[in-house]
Amino acid sequence: MLFLADRIAESVEILRMYEPPEGYYLAFSGGKDSVVLYAMAQEAGVKFDAHYNILPDPPELIRFIREVYPSVKIERPSETMWQLVPRKCYPPTRMARYCCEALKERGGENRIVLTGVKHSDSASRRQWLVRSCQKKGKVVVNPLLNWCDDEIWDYIHESNIPYCSLYNEGLTRLGCVMCPLAGPDRQRKDGERWPQIKKAWLHAFGRMLEERKKRGKETQWNTPEEVMSWWLKED
């Protein structure tokens, strides 16, 4: 509990230190880290407005945000995932995550943006407390940078913060259904759990193949199912 108190104090200090006059743009995903980030901003007493970018997320997660966090502004993209894939002419992969920049990381231009990024989220990539994104004219602040997952859960339970029920089903991270970053096993399980979203991926792959043909691009796939099989590394 002592370490948790230190983490809370550290986050509150960071939030108060960088608070802009117009308030923060809080990037809210509905996951465990973002609900703690939201709570930290409230505890620090700083001004902020929270935003959720619509993605191919589990319907349970979207419902949780709508019901429990009605003040969060739900942002609809000008281009959905199902339009983005045909335009790019190839599926998103672990190495080609064009969807993250186009959909997940949009918003907050010319603002100071709060995210729930932690050091423990990526062992291979160094994270920063504060970083500038000159391309989009925003500054990103990560007040939970030094927290670990255990501390996140301790705070949630001790403070009785609501969280998405999917965590109780064994999921450790929430996000886009069938996201390639989760790995093939998780992608297949997602497709079984949410078949309508898998169907939407297949439809997008079909339109992608049509677009490749229209542009005269060579392709190794003939059907959306073949794209899916390659995407899930079934071959």
pLDDT tens, residue by residue, 179-197: 998 889 999 999 999 999 9
pLDDT for the residue 122: 66
pLDDT in tens, 50-103: 999 999 999 999 999 999 999 999 999 889 999 999 999 999 998 888 888 888
Q: Is the dihedral of CA 201, 227, 78, 176 positive or negative?
A: positive
pLDDT in tens, 102-157: 888 888 889 999 999 998 776 545 678 888 876 678 999 999 999 999 999 999 99
Look at residues 3, 203, 216, 219 and name the one whose alpha carbon lies nearest to residue 86: 203
pLDDT for the residue 102: 80
Q: CA distances (Å), 124 to each of 119, 121, 181, in order?
A: 10, 9, 14
pTM attached to this predicted model: 0.89
pLDDT for the residue 86: 96
pLDDT for the residue 135: 66
42: amino acid identity, one letter: Q
pLDDT for the residue 42: 97
The label of the residue with tokens 């392709």 reads 219
The label of the residue with tokens 């399980």 reads 189
pLDDT for the residue 104: 84
Q: Specify whether the CB–CB gap between 210 and 86 falls below 8 A.
A: yes
Q: How confident is the model at residue 2 (pLDDT cuts 50, 70, 90)?
A: low
pLDDT for the residue 123: 56
pLDDT for the residue 108: 86
Task: Tell me phi and psi for residue 165, to 5 degrees.
Answer: -65, -15
User: Could you name the CATH architecture of 2-177?
Assistant: 3-Layer(aba) Sandwich (3.40)
d(Cα 201, Cα 179) in Å, to the nearest integer? 11
Q: CA distances (Å), 111 to each of 46, 124, 186, in order?
A: 15, 28, 35
Show Cβ contacts of residue 1 under 8 Å, excluding neighbours closer than 6 positions: 154, 158
d(Cα 234, Cα 173) in Å, to the nearest integer? 23
